[in-house]
Structure 1
C-alpha cells in the first residue's frame, strides 16, 4: 500500500481529511478502498475506471471490484447524468462524507487522542504531515505503541535534532526490544544510560600513571 500512496503523491498534491486517516479502519475500508477514496476525493466526479487504474496501478478488474464494494458499503453512488445529450457516469461521494461526519459526532472522548497526536507532530516539525507520515503514525498505533510512548519518542528525536519519522521508528522499536512501554521505563532507561556514560567518562579520565590516583 505504501508504494501505491507514494505513486499517487508523485502525480500531484492530494488533500486527505484527517477523519478519514484516523477512522478508515473503523469504517472497515480495505487498503485499496482507502487509496481509491483518496483519489476520488481529489478528482472530478466523472467515473473513469481506466484512469483510476492507471493512476493507482490497479487492474481494471480491481478498480471495478473496489468501486462496487464502496458502493455496496454506502460510501459512494454511481449516478447517470446527461451532458450535451450524452449520458455519463458520475461518482457521488456524499456517503463517505456523511459517514465521516457521523464518526466525528459519535467518536468517544478517548479517541480524541489520535488527532491530538498528529497535531503534536505537526507542532514539533513546524509543518503539516504528509499522507505517508500519517500512515506510519497510524501503523505505530496499530502495533500497540501508546500515544504517550510515541510522543516521548518524538520528543527524544527533537531533542537530538532529528525531525523525521524513520528515526522515531527506530527509537520505538529499540524501546520495544528492551521492553520499554511506559514513561517511567523511559526515564529509568535514560538514568541508567546517563550513569553508564558517566562511569565510562571517569574511566577515560583516570590517570593510570599516577600512583596516588
Structure 2
C-alpha cells in the first residue's frame, strides 16, 4: 500500500480527506480500494478507463475492474454514463462516498452532544464536576455497548437508593447485564417482577394467628 501511495505522491500533490483516512475501515473499505479512491479524488477527469488507472496505480486492469466492482457493491462508487459527441462514456462518481462521509461527520457531532448530555446529567445529580477517572468509567460503559438510556436508568436507580457513586452504578449495570436487561422495558419488567415477589413475601410473613388474637381482644 505504502509503495502505491508514494507513486501517487511523486506524480501529484495528493489531497486525502482526513475524515476518509480515519474512517475508511468503518466504511468497510480495504486498503487497496482506498488507493483507488485517493487516485479518483485527485483525478479531475474520472473517466472509467481500467487500463489507464492500472498504469498509474501499477496494477493490472483486471484488478481495477475488481476494485471498482467491489466499491460499487458497497455503494461507495457509482458508474455514470454520459453522452459526449454521440459517444457513451463511463465515469466514476464519488458522490455516494461523500454522502457517507458527511453522514459520519453529522453522526460524530451528534454523538459528542449525546455524550455531553450524559455528562451533564451525572454532574447535576452528583452536584459537582466529574473527575477524569469518572469520565473514563462512563466512556467505558459506552464502549461496552451499554446504551445511554440504560446508564441513565442506573443513575436514577442509584439516586433513588441514596447510593450515588459510579462504583454502585457499575454494580447495577453489571447485575442488569447478567440478567439480560438491555432496555428500559427490560428494567420495568424486572422491577415489576421484583415487586411481585416482595408482595408475596410480605403476605407469607404476615402473622395471621396473632392477628386473630388481636381481633378477639
- What is the TM-score normalised by the length of structure 1? 0.50
* More contact order relative to length (CA 8 Å, sep ≥ 6): 1
- What is the TM-score normalised by the length of structure 2? 0.49
Structure (1 or 2) with the larger CA radius of gyration: 2
